[in-house]
Structure 1
Amino acid sequence: MIKVSVLYPNSDELIFDKEYYLNTHVPLVSKLLGDSLKNAQVDFGLASGVPGEAAMYVVMTHMSFESLESFQAIFEPNSVEILSDIANFTNCQPQLQISEIQI
């Protein structure tokens, strides 16, 4: 199993519409990725490990897939629609990390 993490960095200039993200973007991505998407989790950052310091990421979305190949096979044909929707809820460029799940 692999995990694809989409990380939205926090900043003073950040605009992020949580309602749009949860009610429109996440369902769109889930629909487009279909059965290849095994699990999805959205985390909203509250704070960092330093008291009074803001969270490094305002949102982290984690999606599980059987393999890197299954993710790439479903993401590639849907990437334009998924990526073009980002401007509807944020002004930041998300970061992507793909990890192998060990436990």
Structure 2
Amino acid sequence: MTSKIAVVVSYPSQHPTTKAPLTFDMKYYLATHMPLIEGLWGPHGLKRWSINTFPDPCPLTGQTPPYRVQTTCWFDSVEQLKNAMEKGGDKGRLDIENFSNVQPIICVGEKGEAGMMDKE
């Protein structure tokens, strides 16, 4: 079964108030934070996660991208996500200061369609 709910956790390139550039310790994030999230959210339906990083400057525009790190977490239902957030959201949120100076923006969406272009 394919997970239907995507939780996109995006870390802005700069602090929204101070405009300080994002600091982000990817080593800590991978070694400590994401295992913490797996432990907190896994029992409540977290199926998998993936991370995208965006270089500064953007290779296409030469500009600073709006986000530098974006993690997508997959669940089968919004109810599972809500339960995971209720049971483990605070502990995960408190850990953010250990690897970033910016709080993430969180968006919740449903799985979209995917396809490949015809290569003939």
Determine if the TM-score, normalized by the shorter chain, exceeds 0.5: yes
Q: Specify the alignment match of 1:87 in structure 2.
A: 97
- 1:1-103, aligned counterparts within 5 Å? 1-11=4-14, 12-35=20-43, 36-46=45-55, 47=58, 49-50=60-61, 52-103=62-113
Decide whether the 8 Å contact of 2:5 with 2:108 is kept in 1: yes
Separation of aligned partners in 1, 2:80 and 2:59: 33
TM-score, normalised relative to structure 2 = 0.79
1:59 Cα deviation from its structure 2 partner: 0.4
Q: Which has the higher contact order (CA 8 A, sep 6+)?
A: 1
Q: Specify the alignment match of 2:118 in structure 1.
A: none
Residues 10 and 25 from structure 1, CA distance in 2 versus in 1: closer, same or farther, beyond 3 angstroms? same
1:48 Cα deviation from its structure 2 partner: 6.2
Q: How many residues align?
A: 102
Decide whether the 8 Å contact of 2:40 with 2:87 is kept in 1: no
Q: Which runs of 5+ in 2 are unaligned?
A: 15-19, 114-120
Q: Which runs of 5+ in 1 are unaligned?
A: none
Relative to its length, the structure with more helix (as a share) is 1
Separation of aligned partners in 2, 1:41 and 1:32: 17
Separation of aligned partners in 2, 1:74 and 1:13: 30
Separation of aligned partners in 2, 1:25 and 1:69: 23
Question: Runs of 4 or more off by more than 2 Å in structure 1?
Answer: none
Q: CA RMSD in A?
A: 1.4
TM-score, normalised relative to structure 1 = 0.91
